[in-house]
Amino acid sequence: MSSTAAHYTASELLAVMSSRLLKDGQIVFAGVGIPLLAATLAQGTHCPGLTILFEGGVIGPVIEPGKLPPSTNEQRCTVRANMVLASTDVLLLLQRGYVDIGFMGGAQIDQYGNLNSSFIGDPAHPKTRLPGTGGGNDIASLAQMIVAMKHEKRRFVEEVDFVTSPGFLRGGTSRRDSGLLAGGMYRVVTDLGIFGFDEQTRRMKIVALHDGVSIEQVQDNTGFKLEPARDVEVTKRPTERELEFLRKLDPERLYTA
């Protein structure tokens, strides 16, 4: 491994690890930031046939290095796309079942994979009003999810203050019982490891650790008890090729600093 590959930021690690979870031929509903970088990286490496959808109403755009869109509702998202359609209709593709993976970032997540981007504190008298769901609730309600986020104790809480985007709600069959028949949390990717959810309890578990990270370190940074899966793997460090691709894509380090 070269010296370039030896140095990378936490964001670069997130992007690389997430990209490796994507499979060729998948249709991925991506947010801007790490998800878009990761999906574009996947296209450039092992997934030439991956299709990106944007919430603004875009199918299959080409992301130009150095011209990352500032939101999924901006004209840069439409560059050399295969199709541009109404936002409602691109969201309905989730409901129809056309989307393999919903891929977004997260501010706060709990043991059942529920995400909060609405309120810190009591929603009736919030300490902080956050921007809200956007399409996050729809994506998380209707597709298999990958979430990429920094691993901090204040972000990994036992129970989120507010379920903006549903994971497995209160675990067990509660998601399906609520009427959410499809989708659900698949993986959470952090700068410490990769996490999945138990098939029965739907609680978060450790699937893999990044090189040099211990289970204790993960547990210390998590606000609830994390069980390891039967065989916790160790991920392979980002390669030079992956990092070069990312740095070309985001030369100003808007999302990878």
Q: Which residue type is seen at 57? A: G
Q: Looking at beta carbons only, is 68 or 226 nearer to other proteins? A: 68
Dihedral over Cα of 220, 222, 226, 231: its sign: negative
**Closer to other proteins by Cβ: residue 89 or 244:** 89
- Work out whether strand 83-84 and strand 101-105 pair parallel, antiparallel, or are unpaired: unpaired
Task: Give the catalytic positions in this structure.
Answer: 55
Candidate list 70, 122, 251, 253; residue touching other proteins; CB under 8 A: 70
16, two tokens: 């690389």
Residue 252 binds other proteins, judged by CB under 8 A:
no
Judged by beta carbon, residue 56 or residue 193, the one nearer other proteins is 56
Nearer to other proteins, 56 or 238 (CB): 56
Other beta carbons within 10 angstroms of residue 115's beta carbon come to 28
Residue 73 within binding range of other proteins, rule CB under 8 A: yes
- Contact by Cβ (8 Å): 50, 24: yes
Q: Which is nearer to other proteins, 116 or 221 (CB)?
A: 116
Structural tokens at position 69: 């869109």
CB of 234 to other proteins, least distance (A): 31
The answer to whether 49 contacts other proteins (rule: CB under 8 A) is yes
Tell me, letter by letter, the H, E, C secondary structure of the chain.
CCHHHHCCCHHHHHHHHHHHHCCCCCEEEECCCHHHHHHHHHHHCCCCCCEEEECCCEECCCCCCCCCCCCCCCHHHHCCCCEECCHHHHHHHHHHCCCCEEEEECCEEECCCCEECCEECCCCCCCEECCCCCCHHHHHHHCEEEEECCCCCCCEECCCCCCCECCCCCCCCHHHHCCCCCCEEEEEECCCEEEEECCCCCCEEEEEECCCCCHHHHHHCCCCCCEEEEEEEECCCCCHHHHHHHHHHCCCCCCCC
Span 90-119, contacts to other proteins by CB under 8 A: 91-98, 100, 118
257 lies in the site for other proteins, by CB under 8 A: no
190 binds other proteins (CB under 8 A): no
- Our finding on whether 238 is near other proteins (CB under 8 A) is no
The region of 14-22, 78-86, 185-193, 232-240 touching other proteins under the rule CB under 8 A is 78-86
Smallest gap, in angstroms, from Cβ of residue 78 to other proteins?
A: 6
Using CB under 8 A, pick the residue from 9, 60, 219, 232 that binds other proteins.
60
Specify the residue, 144 or 235, whose C-beta has the smaller distance to other proteins: 144
Q: Does 51 bind other proteins (CB under 8 A)?
A: yes
Report the residue from 5, 10, 182, 232 that binds other proteins according to the rule CB under 8 A: 182
Considering only residues 122 to 181 of the shown chain, the ones binding other proteins according to CB under 8 A are 123, 126-138, 141-142, 162-166, 169, 174-175, 178-181
State which of residues 32, 243, 246, 249 lies at the interface with other proteins (CB under 8 A): 32
